[in-house]
Amino acid sequence: MGKELRTLPEDKKDYKREIIAGTTSFLAMAYIIAVNPSILSATGMPQGALVTATCLSAAFSCILMGLYAKLPIGLASGMGLNAFFAFSVVIGKGISWDIALTAVFVEGIIFILLSLFKVREAVVDAIPLNLKYAVTGGIGLFIAFVGFNGAGLVVSDESTKVAMGNFFSPTVLIAVIGLIVIVILEKKKVKGSMLIGIVISTVMAWGYAILRPESANLLGISVPSGIFKFESLAPIAGKIDFSYLTTPENIFNFAVIVLTFLFVDFFDTVGTLVGVASRANMLDKDGRVPNAGKALLVDALGTTAGALMGTSAVTTYVESATGVEEGGRTGLTAITIGVLFFIATFFSPVFIAVPTCATAPALIYVGYLMLGSIVKIDFSDITEAVPAFLTIALMPLTYSIGDGLTVGVLVYVVLNILNNIFTKEKSKKKPLSKVMIILGFVFILKLILPLIS
């Protein structure tokens, strides 16, 4: 690999930088402490136990990422995956939540095997460098869109799909002030600028909630309901149940559920890992992600452990990019995230009360930084440029890193196969790896799977 990775930094200044980076990533991810239990509780699972499962599964996965893979990347229960778990599987198919947890557990075991046999690492390494830069840019737009939406600056609209929200809404003003604070501090090269921006925005939001509680409540802003709280895992932990697999029809349904979890988690993780590592300048001279195999194994172990604790699939978080932008480069960043998730298990009311408008400024600013990677893309080669463009555009527009990567890779494979068939000059033909061709077929299956489920 191009650069030696370290679990711990080399001096005190680096320790401070990594801890600030980890804290920033944690605060950008902390919304999951409230959102994941809210979504999964629709299945009948107790919300209090889900808070504990969300925090502990994230803590386990992040600390393992730091110690074993040595990457500054945080993990937690995945958004999108939790909605599929609750609304498509449990409510949509009428399957009990313990069977759904079993499907997540099986997905995790399959991921462990794929990671041990280096299948997932081969996929990461096979993605062409131009597409890797596109993934970084696409994630930048995606994460900025999440921030705009969290602030209320971009809202849904029946006629135009999306529209601009009320610029003078308290949430938008709080986010704008937070963004200005971050930009000014970054200009002055103040360390921890994004963390400071999040804290200032949170204080403003809580101040508004104290002065105008009813209005603030409508905007999703509230002061912490307390400080200390801990809920037992007992109602949802260890509820793996294979009794559902007694008939051929159930086995088929179960397999479709597992494959859907597998596809969404696999390619969201690959996209996030590539994008964040690229932004951190961690790619080696061949464009490979260092310790990708270890990182993917940690992701698989996190999903398996999460299912045993009682939560949906654990995955790498795009919000990790906020910590990377604060200078996080070692495993200590991920360990810090994990420790803070563990602490949050006992102080969840405080972290649940950090509103999305407070973390939005950091997400928007990171989006701006990550979009800069597109200048490295070779737009003179249409077989490289079109797939890159589609990847960048579709990540925010489909609200899915995995879907953007799917279309980008699929179009890349098709265009380059056609180019190699119809181009007579040998010098203009482009080598296409077997892994990329296999990925093309896999992505076609991924697109067909929802049609048969």
- Tens of pLDDT, residue by residue over 160-181, are 999 999 999 999 999 999 999 9
Tens of pLDDT, residues 15-55: 899 999 999 999 988 889 988 898 898 899 998 899 999 99
Contacts of 54 (CB under 8 A, 6+ apart): 32, 33, 36, 37, 76, 77, 311
pLDDT value for 298: 96
pLDDT of residue 452: 65
What's the rounded mean pLDDT across residues 182-192? 88
Band (pLDDT 50/70/90 cuts) for residue 2 is very low
Distance of CA 17 to the CA centre of its chain: 22
Higher per-residue confidence, 366 vs 303: 303
- Predicted TM-score (pTM) of the model is 0.79
Strand partners, 157: 161
Could you read off the pLDDT of 117-142 as tens digits, one per residue?
988 888 888 888 888 889 888 888 98
Q: What is the pLDDT of residue 128?
A: 87
Q: Is 418 exposed, middle or buried (0-12, 13-18, 19+ CB in 10 A)?
A: exposed
CA distance 185 to 190: 5
Q: Is the pLDDT confidence value at 260 over 80?
A: no
**352-369 average pLDDT score:** 88
Highest mean predicted confidence (pLDDT) among 4-13, 248-257, 405-414: 405-414
Give 9 or 395, the one with higher predicted confidence. Answer: 395
H or E element at residue 182 = helix 170-187
Burial pattern 45-74, b for ≥16 Cβ within 10 A else e, equals: bbebbbbbbbbbbbbbbbbbbbbbbbbbbb
> Which of the residue ranges 154-158, 209-213, 434-438 would you say has the lowest mean pLDDT?
434-438
Question: Mean pLDDT score of the chain, rounded to an integer?
Answer: 89
Which residue carries 């049609």 as its tokens? 451
- Gyration radius of the chain's alpha carbons: 22
